[in-house]
Chains A and B, each alone.
Chain A
Amino acid sequence: MSHGEKPRRSSVRRRLAFWPLLLLLVLATLGSLVASLAFGSERIPVGEVVGAVTDRFAGRDPGRWDVIVWELRMPRALLAVVVGAGLAVAGVGMQTLVRNPLADPFLLGISSGASVGATAVITTGVLGGLGIYAVSTGALLGAVGSALLVWLVATAQGGLTPLRLVLSGVVLSSGLSAIASFLVFLSGDPRAANSVMFWMLGSVGGATWEKLWIPAVLVAVLSAGMLALHRWMDALAAGPDTASALGVNVAAMRTTLFVGLAVLVGVLVAVSGGIGFVGLIVPHAARLVVGARHRVVLPVAALGGGLFLLWVDVVARLAVRPQEIPLGVVTGVVGAPLFLLLMGRGRYRFGGQQ
């Protein structure tokens, strides 16, 4: 019974069913993975690609496309999927941690910190002994360092509250970006500026099977971890008092989430640079289609993010062949209108904001 309240509006919002959508995303990802191997500077017929892949699985002798398909394009495609999935999951986690719809995985100054590390390596040649891993290592160190800095600043001010995390993250980001620019300025080498910019805009071009497994394991473990705590994540998203009243240890949960995200994003940035937009728009898109519960958002965002970045990489390879566009450029150009389209689809709210 409703005592003089407003008349009922017809209001069951349309959502997509979770399991069919998940199945569809899995199939689409597997299919796209194989299909994407056909595209590149050398166009390989899809039949040949399928042949090369099945040859490998069947243990037959490698054919003429084996090296390109299996050693070059496959790790690259897989890395795109892993990074896309990781960024999307990190975006979901970050938006829940700080309860802010504009949060993205790079909020905690992680990408700026990574750029300082990478820039230092590119311009000064430190860590040169690590060879091809030098830039990645520098980026990882910078990322972890900046996350640590945000942690220390927020904790010194009284705790990891959303507002403090957002503010110290944003402020430190600008500070670190300034340092990175200063390093480029100091070096006086125009090529350094160029490589720093390309690095920051992101690429999965350097993928090898050896480089693949650390991010892959990390993304899998942390996604599974967040999924295993999906109810507590839901409670945390409802606000600290509510979560605490529901028996969730808010401080411990925030700390765990913070550390997990810092490591995950640090590694992702180290292997692929700062690919923007994926971690911001994919979580929102996932919420729009399946609702806000983490149990359904996390898997859909992970698969959606992987699938999205896989095709972004294909576009990046093809658009101005033989040159490659940085992934961050494609995600921005494709992502912005796509997101506006999704937002326009229905009234969308997050954290009480419209």
Chain B
Amino acid sequence: MTGTTNGDRLAARLRGVGVSLGGRRILADVDLDVPHGQRLGIVGVNGAGKSTLLRVLAGVLHHGSGTAELAGPDGRLEDLHDVRARERARRVAYVPQEEVVAAELLVGEMVALGRVPRTRPWARGGRDERDVVLAALDAVGLADRVDNPCDQLSGGERRRAVLARGLAQQCPVMLLDEPTNHLDVAWQLRLLEVLAGQAETLVATIHDLDLALRYFDVLAVVGWPDDGDPSGATGPRGPATVVAVGPPADVLAAGHVDRHFGVGSVQVPHPHLDQPHLLIHARRDHP
């Protein structure tokens, strides 16, 4: 299933990518196509390397081996190393998972950082910038907090404010690391819609398999190709890779979920809505 292409145009492509951090190999032989104009979800157990994969795609982390490519405005793929940082930041907005929000900045000032790739480093933020910032904050429901200090936001509000910075970057591709962390259920659903509405292509790591099943067009599983205990309780394992790519209903079939996540599961239709849900239970209960 590795390397499935949905449609012909790609937003980004990884081929044979390997990453080592502090001498430990985290990822190896990763092949992944990011289809243009779609929502790609990255799932996997803790420590598999989902965030690392996203950082490679974002160009923030330099991969050791293989090629990582990013599509230009004309849709042609270019090697990520050849794209200047500033140009890359105009194509890809990356929002890390746990970000320490800069202290003593107002919410609006923090969100305005998203305009850095499109403004000269000495420029004063003008009215246009203020409008972009307000629109981004409005999208995450924080427009009225624009002049409040960042440290007075709650955990969920802070998460939304950081995502607003990603929106203010106004890039065709958004890479989000666990965007729904710390969020209330209502905001989890609404935010994913808002984000997908703004970016053409959305790539997000996601913890909640049920949300992953419903929300994404394509899912990629980061894990280990061999069978065994996916929780890693049996000790450290070798480098992980993308072990499955495809439509969510296929990737989250019971056999796969059992193998890659170590739990039993069943997909059931919502009784009133036309959408599938994933019910999860302990492995033992599974026949």
A: residues with CB less than 8 A from B are 1-6, 9, 11-13, 227-232, 234-235, 237-239, 241-242, 244-249, 287-288, 291-293, 295, 347-353
**Contact mask for chain B residues 206-236; partner A; CB cutoff 8 A; 1 contact, 0 none:** 0000000000000000000000000000000
B141 and A1 within 8 A (CB): yes
A241 and B96 within 8 A (CB): yes
B90 and A247 within 8 A (CB): yes
B60 and A3 within 8 A (CB): no
A242 and B103 within 8 A (CB): no
Q: B194 at the A/B interface (Cβ < 8 Å)?
A: no
Q: Kindly state the separation between the CA atoms of A291 and B184 in the bound complex, as whole angstroms.
A: 30
B103 and A349 within 8 A (CB): yes
Closest to B188 in A: A3
Residues on the A chain within 8 Å of B139, using CB: none
- Size band of the interface chain B makes with A: 35 or more
Q: Kindly state the separation between the CA atoms of A4 and B92 in the bound complex, as whole angstroms.
A: 32
Closest to B94 in A: A245
13 intermolecular pairs with C-beta atoms under 8 Å apart: A5-B184, A11-B148, A231-B121, A238-B102, A244-B58, A244-B60, A245-B93, A245-B96, A246-B89, A246-B114, A247-B84, A293-B109, A352-B101
Whole-angstrom distance between the Cβ of A253 and the nearest chain B Cβ: 10
Q: Kindly state the separation between the CA atoms of A6 and B236 in the bound complex, as whole angstroms.
A: 41
B184 and A13 within 8 A (CB): no
B109 and A291 within 8 A (CB): yes
> Could you say which of B3-11, B150-158, B243-251, B270-278 contacts chain A?
B150-158
A5 and B154 within 8 A (CB): yes
Q: Kindly state the separation between the CA atoms of A352 and B59 in the bound complex, as whole angstroms.
A: 25
Whole-angstrom distance between the Cβ of B230 and the nearest chain A Cβ: 27
CB proximity to A under 8 Å, residues B15-30: none
B122 and A235 within 8 A (CB): no
Q: Kindly state the separation between the CA atoms of A348 and B104 in the bound complex, as whole angstroms.
A: 7
Which among A13, A229, A241, A246 is the interface contact of B113 at CB below 8 angstroms?
Answer: A246
**Contact mask for chain B residues 149-185; partner A; CB cutoff 8 A; 1 contact, 0 none:** 1011010110000000000010000000000000011
Q: Which of A231, A347, A351 has the most CB of B within 10 A?
A: A231
B105 and A292 within 8 A (CB): yes
Q: Kindly state the separation between the CA atoms of A3 and B109 in the bound complex, as whole angstroms.
A: 24
CB proximity to A under 8 Å, residues B110-131: 110, 113-114, 116-117, 119-124
A248 and B85 within 8 A (CB): yes
Whole-angstrom distance between the Cβ of A309 and the nearest chain B Cβ: 24
Q: B87 at the A/B interface (Cβ < 8 Å)?
A: yes
B156 and A287 within 8 A (CB): no
Q: B282 at the A/B interface (Cβ < 8 Å)?
A: no
A247 and B184 within 8 A (CB): no
Whole-angstrom distance between the Cβ of A145 and the nearest chain B Cβ: 31
Residues on the B chain within 8 Å of A287, using CB: 104
Q: Which of B89, B95, B114 has the most CB of A within 10 A?
A: B89
A227 and B122 within 8 A (CB): yes
**Contact mask for chain B residues 64-107; partner A; CB cutoff 8 A; 1 contact, 0 none:** 00000000000000000000111111101111100111111110
B103 and A350 within 8 A (CB): yes
Q: B55 at the A/B interface (Cβ < 8 Å)?
A: yes
Residues on the A chain within 8 Å of B114, using CB: 246
Q: Which of B113, B156, B186 has the most CB of A within 10 A?
A: B113
B124 and A295 within 8 A (CB): yes
B187 and A12 within 8 A (CB): no
Q: Kindly state the separation between the CA atoms of A239 and B110 in the bound complex, as whole angstroms.
A: 12
A241 and B55 within 8 A (CB): yes
Q: B147 at the A/B interface (Cβ < 8 Å)?
A: yes
Q: Which 6 A-B pairs have the closest CB atoms?
A: A247-B89, A349-B103, A292-B104, A352-B100, A247-B117, A247-B86
Q: Kindly state the separation between the CA atoms of A350 and B104 in the bound complex, as whole angstroms.
A: 7
